């Protein structure tokens, strides 16, 4: 929804009161602001979940809030782009915070030697599930009257409602079947949870010397994740600006969902063969090429080509990054450290959309803004190649043993 349906819908409604390049810039600023807020909430929730010892009830509350806000976008009156942005933020914050708790469950359902493969499989299944719903949404948008809908606007609004229901419904198996990880810490009242969460966050910073490889990885991830997130959030609104029709924008994003599933599995196997660090670096090289192609697009098939290229590398780089981080985290600090991981991702996600929006506003077009992505991919890859993953795993074991 964030990548395919919502940005062009927002651009259409915002274009009634501002030029296209300012609509692109506004969406970039809103995305940056949402990422900044989610960094704070994710870090606090991650640390609190360690103390509380119960991740799943927190996760359930976040999914419920986020899915309701998502479905509510269907009710926003036409032209009310400010209300649309408010609901976007109210949906994105629970989504991003829920992912902190969801990711922290990974080591409890996968053996250490299976982390990379299971993480890649999770992303692959996610692309399949998201692709199925996106295919239905695309059918509604391309032929609304065939489904009894009065037009494109109604089809898009129905898509918002379907995303909220889909999100909540397919979260239920996790709540019913995935076991709650054992917590080595006693539970505490809410005020103590807040105070202990703050102490935990301070402790993560204070213990930075215990995890030098982990923190070097986080810095690298901070850079390249910002570039990846900017591609996801800005691609379709940039495509709208350069004249690509909505059916091509959403169709190309559906292609991403279809191709990214087997590509994620392939990246998982590649990570097992050559190591996840080198596999991710190869994926980042692909993103450098994607940036160059992004500057050149002017026709629908250009956008389809860009989407196919993204599909080949997106899921693999994200899934292997998650499993690399998990392998270097002491088991007793999963929630807090995944909150720290989330903050690195979300704070990184502030700079990319913000720079993209500023460049689009300054140059009067998003075309030149795509070059703001290159430093993120090149710098992140260079720093990632300096990380000693095996040493990071040993450091996590030593901290856990102590």
Query: Looking at residue 186, which CATH number applies to its domain?
Result: 1.20.1250.20
- In 275-299, which ranges are continuous DSSP H helix? 276-296
Closest to 303 in 3D by CA, of 30, 26, 3, 1: 3
What is the distance between the alpha carbons of residues 372 and 353, in angstroms, rounded to a whole number? 9
pLDDT digits (tens, 9 = 90+) for 242-300: 888 878 888 888 888 788 878 888 888 888 889 889 999 999 999 999 999 888 888 88
240 found inside a domain: yes
Residue 305's region, left for phi above 0, alpha for psi from -120 to 50, else beta, is alpha
In the chain, what is the straight-line distance between the N-terminal and C-terminal CA atoms, in Å?
44
Degrees to nearest 5, angle at CA 126 with 71 and 294:
90
- In 188-299, which ranges are continuous DSSP H helix? 190-206, 212-241, 246-274, 276-296
Residue 303 scores a pLDDT above 70? yes
* 329 and 207 Cβ atoms separated by less than 8 Å: no
* Residue 290 confidence (pLDDT): 92
50 found inside a domain: yes
pLDDT digits (tens, 9 = 90+) for 185-235: 545 554 555 555 556 556 555 655 667 788 888 888 888 988 888 887 778
Domain that holds residue 118: 6-401
C-alpha separations of 66 from 260, 273, 398 in Å:
25, 38, 38
* Residue 150 confidence (pLDDT): 92
144 found inside a domain: yes
58 found inside a domain: yes
- SS (HEC) of 141-173: HHCHHHHCCCCHHHHHHHHHHHHHHHHHHCCHH
1 found inside a domain: no
pTM value is 0.67
The pLDDT > 70 percentage for the chain reads 84
pLDDT digits (tens, 9 = 90+) for 97-140: 888 788 777 777 877 778 777 877 887 788 788 888 988 998 99
* 330 and 208 Cβ atoms separated by less than 8 Å: no
Query: Using N-to-C axis directions, what is the helix angle for 334-363 and 20-52, rounded to 10°?
Result: 170
* Residue 257 confidence (pLDDT): 78
pLDDT digits (tens, 9 = 90+) for 329-369: 777 666 566 666 666 666 666 777 788 888 888 887 778 88
Q: What is the DSSP string of 52-114?
A: H--HHHHHHHHHHHHHHHHHHGGGPPTT-HHHHHHHHHHHHHHHHHHHHHHHHTHHHHS-GGG
Q: Into how many domains does the chain fold?
A: 1
115 found inside a domain: yes
Mean pLDDT of 67-82: 90
pLDDT digits (tens, 9 = 90+) for 131-174: 889 889 989 988 899 999 999 899 999 999 999 999 999 999 88
* Residue 318 confidence (pLDDT): 82
Residue 49: which pLDDT band, with cuts at 50, 70 and 90? Answer: low
Mean pLDDT, all residues of the chain: 81
């Amino acid at each position: 929804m964030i990548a395919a349906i919502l940005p062009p819908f927002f651009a259409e409604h915002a274009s009634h009161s501002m030029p296209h390049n300012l609509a692109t810039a506004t969406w970039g600023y809103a995305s940056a602001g949402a990422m900044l807020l989610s960094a704070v909430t994710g870090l606090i929730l991650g640390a609190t979940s360690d103390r509380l010892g119960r991740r799943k009830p927190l996760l359930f509350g976040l999914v419920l809030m986020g899915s309701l806000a998502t479905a509510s976008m269907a009710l926003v009156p036409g032209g009310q782009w400010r209300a649309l942005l408010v609901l976007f933020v109210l949906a994105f914050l629970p989504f991003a915070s829920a992912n902190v708790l969801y990711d922290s469950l990974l080591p409890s359902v996968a053996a250490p030697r299976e982390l990379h493969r299971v993480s890649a499989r999770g992303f692959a299944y996610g692309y399949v599930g998201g692709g199925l719903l996106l295919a239905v949404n695309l059918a509604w948008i391309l032929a609304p009257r065939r489904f009894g809908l009065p037009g494109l606007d109604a089809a898009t609004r129905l898509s918002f409602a379907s995303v909220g229901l889909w999100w909540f419904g397919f979260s239920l198996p996790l709540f019913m079947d995935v076991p709650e990880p054992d917590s080595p810490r006693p539970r505490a009242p809410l005020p103590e949870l807040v105070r202990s969460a703050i102490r935990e966050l301070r402790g993560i910073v204070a213990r930075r010397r215990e995890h030098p490889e982990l923190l070097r990885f986080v810095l690298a991830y901070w850079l390249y994740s910002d570039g990846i997130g900017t591609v996801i959030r800005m691609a379709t609104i940039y495509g709208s600006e350069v004249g690509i029709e909505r059916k091509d924008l959403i169709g190309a994003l559906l292609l991403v969902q279809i191709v990214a599933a087997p590509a994620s599995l392939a990246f998982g196997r590649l990570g097992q063969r050559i190591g996840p660090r080198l596999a991710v670096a190869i994926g980042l090289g692909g993103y450098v090429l994607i940036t160059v192609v992004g500057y050149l697009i002017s026709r629908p098939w250009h956008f389809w080509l860009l989407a196919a290229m993204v599909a080949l590398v997106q899921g693999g780089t994200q899934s292997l990054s998650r499993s690399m981080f998990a392998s270097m985290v002491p088991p007793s600090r999963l929630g807090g450290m995944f909150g720290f991981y989330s903050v690195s991702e979300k704070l990184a996600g502030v700079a990319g959309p913000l720079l993209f929006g500023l460049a689009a506003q300054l140059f009067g077009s998003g075309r030149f803004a795509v070059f703001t992505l290159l430093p993120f991919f090149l710098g992140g890859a260079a720093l990632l190649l300096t990380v000693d993953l095996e040493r990071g795993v040993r450091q996590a074991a030593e901290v856990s043993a102590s």
